[in-house]
Amino acid sequence: MSWDAGDPVTVDDTASLANAIANRWELYEGHLGQDVDLTYFYMSQADARMCVQTGSLTGTTKVRSTTHPAEAPGWCIDNGYTWFVAIRSDAPDESNIDVVSWGRAIREEDDEDDEDNNEDDEDNNEDDEDDEDNNEDNNDDNNEDNSEDNSEDNSEDNSEDNSEDNSEDDNDNDDDDE
């Protein structure tokens, strides 16, 4: 009796994906009558579908891995290998395979990266607050500088105006004396 790969597993949480693969794996071992280990190949959706239809990995662009699809390597996902095909690890030939399970992989969760990202976000927020404080300080300094410059300019202008006015007054007074 031949093995049917079934429908693709397309779930959004790691527990559901792990359970679906485990169920298919158990059914496959029952079908064979022996325990087997699985190897996973990460690839595009089109390549995964072709593997299921043809029973072959030949002609596909793929990455072989022992990493479970519920924790798919981030670099696989980043490079477009978002689907997986699970086959028995001791398959003698890639051109004649039983696809035990297949579907959409879920990117691995990296707790350290998540914590680092959260810390970075907090640091960035603190930096933004510092930038706002610096901008306010700079604006205050600029306003003070401008008001000092303006008062100096005004003082100079006023003193020049006053001295001109005074000399004109002196001239007027001279006329009166004559």
102 strand-pairing partners: 85
Every domain of the chain and the residues it spans: 14-104
2 pLDDT band, cuts 50/70/90, is confident
| Prediction pTM value | 0.61
Percent of the chain whose pLDDT exceeds 90: 56
The predicted-structure confidence for 134-150, as pLDDT tens digits, reads as follows: 555 555 555 555 555 55
- CA–CA distance, 82 with 84 (Å, rounded to integer): 7
At 137 the pLDDT is 54
Q: What is the pLDDT of residues 27-49, one digit of tens each?
A: 999 999 999 999 999 999 999 99
63-65/38-43 β-pairing: antiparallel
